[in-house]
Amino acid sequence: MKLLNEDIKTGQLKQVYLLCGEEDYLRRQYRDRLRQALAGQDTMNCHYFEGKNIVAGELIDLAETLPFLAERRVIVVENSGFFGKGGDAKGGGVLAEYLKNMAETAYMVFVETEVDKRSRIFKAVKEKGRVTEFTVQDEATLTKWILGMIGREGKKITGRDLQHFLEKTGTDMENICRELEKLFCYTLERDVITAADIDAVCTQRISNRIFEMIGAVAEKNQKKALDLYYDLLSLKEPPMKILSMIAREFNLLLQVKELRGKGNDNRVISEKTELRPFLVGKYVSRASGFGREQLKQALVSCAEAEEAVKTGKLSDVMSVELLIIKYSAG
């Protein structure tokens, strides 16, 4: 990302770029920045293509067409599938060959979610231009970024409340932006954002609701566990998706319990499980409410619940409900 920023800042731009990685927000931000740096306000010589029905030959024909009263013809291609598995055969291979000797006036920006680093076109872009991968940002980077936005609004937040905000929103930067906008509007006449403000307007992630549901199960609070389940159903969440997430939570709790049992600290647990550091403490505390064998059996029960649905023995809604009732019974 540093090299990409330098390209944009200095104006020493490559002829071809690939923007990829898990973080959608950053991909889109840099797509727009690159398009602006390459084409400015010129809409006549700037073209945008999206989807897996793009024909490589049409892109090449366009790239070979001289720009009209401009230095560059800019072509932005998003989610084409050329870089994914089998992409070379779908046109990526043809483009890979073209990129080696592309027209001097042509500039291409590829924005892709699926990337096979063994593909010919990936290797061609890496050799000819620049590949930038946008990964999910770590807690320190997100904290600095959020504090910057809060500061620009003339507002403040405590470290504890910022952690609470991240627990609500997760690490998706697009979601964080949406939730911050809501907070800024809600606290329009105040300069401090509090936990109460966050609880009042920020939408809780589904995974948080599942985690809270598992907590209610551990506490044998059956009513709360079922209420949370019914809330998820009212939000049109598919029961089998809920079941999958319940299984994931039980699996994480089992991993955390076993790692803590071997004397590992929170930092090691975070690395081994890929849980965010600010979440590990909560998982350690929650895991203490379950026995190791109980968590193993819960995973077996999740598999059995899924099987009951697939074989038609139970409806999906009932299967998950019975699972929750079984493990939350006093």
Task: Mark whether 70 and 127 lie in a shared domain.
Answer: yes
% pLDDT > 90, the chain:
71
* Per-residue pLDDT, 22: 87
Question: In the sheet that 106-111 helps form, which strands lie side by side, from edge to edge?
Answer: 46-50, 73-78, 106-111, 16-20, 130-133
Tell me how many degrees the CA angle 42-1-121 measures, rounded to the nearest 5: 75
Task: Mark whether 161 and 271 lie in a shared domain.
Answer: no
What CATH number does residue 183 fall under?
1.10.8.60
Task: Mark whether 230 and 304 lie in a shared domain.
Answer: yes
Query: In this structure, are residues 132 and 17 in contact, taking their beta carbons and an 8 Å threshold?
Result: yes
* Per-residue pLDDT, 219: 86
Which of 90, 104, 120 has its CA nearest to residue 18?
120
List pLDDT tens digits, range 50-97: 998 999 999 999 999 999 999 999 999 999 999 998 888 888 999 999
* Per-residue pLDDT, 330: 65
Mean pLDDT of 28-32: 94
Task: Mark whether 196 and 228 lie in a shared domain.
Answer: no
Q: How far apart are CA 181 and CA 67, in angstroms?
A: 40
Task: Mark whether 114 and 54 lie in a shared domain.
Answer: yes
Mean pLDDT of 254-270: 92
Mean pLDDT of 161-189: 91
Domain endpoint, select from 162, 182, 201 = 201
* Per-residue pLDDT, 274: 84
Task: Mark whether 94 and 191 lie in a shared domain.
Answer: no
Task: Mark whether 73 and 180 lie in a shared domain.
Answer: no
* Per-residue pLDDT, 193: 96
Residue 238 belongs to domain spanning: 206-328
DSSP state of 309: H
Q: Is the pLDDT of residue 262 over 90?
A: yes
Q: Tell me the whole-structure pTM to 2 decimals.
A: 0.68
Task: Mark whether 191 and 236 lie in a shared domain.
Answer: no
Task: Mark whether 97 and 212 lie in a shared domain.
Answer: no
Q: Which residues pair with 108 in a beta bridge?
A: 16, 75
Q: Is the pLDDT of residue 31 over 90?
A: yes
| Strand pairing report for 46-50 and 73-78 | parallel
Task: Mark whether 99 and 51 lie in a shared domain.
Answer: yes
- Structural domains in the chain (count): 3
pLDDT band at 169 (very low <50, low <70, confident <90, very high): confident
Rg (alpha carbons) of the chain, rounded to whole number: 25
Query: In this structure, are residues 187 and 197 in contact, taking their beta carbons and an 8 Å threshold?
Result: yes
What CATH number does residue 294 fall under?
1.20.272.10
Domain endpoint, select from 148, 183, 201 = 201
List pLDDT tens digits, range 273-327: 988 777 888 899 889 888 999 999 999 999 999 999 999 999 999 999 999 999 8
List pLDDT tens digits, range 196-230: 999 999 987 777 788 888 888 888 899 999 999 99
Q: How far apart are CA 112 and CA 180, in angstroms?
A: 27
Query: In this structure, are residues 219 and 289 in contact, taking their beta carbons and an 8 Å threshold?
Result: yes
Task: Mark whether 11 and 128 lie in a shared domain.
Answer: yes
SS3 14: coil
List pLDDT tens digits, range 110-131: 999 889 999 999 999 999 999 9
pLDDT band at 140 (very low <50, low <70, confident <90, very high): confident
Task: Mark whether 313 and 268 lie in a shared domain.
Answer: yes
Domain endpoint, select from 182, 201, 220 = 201
What CATH number does residue 45 fall under?
3.40.50.300
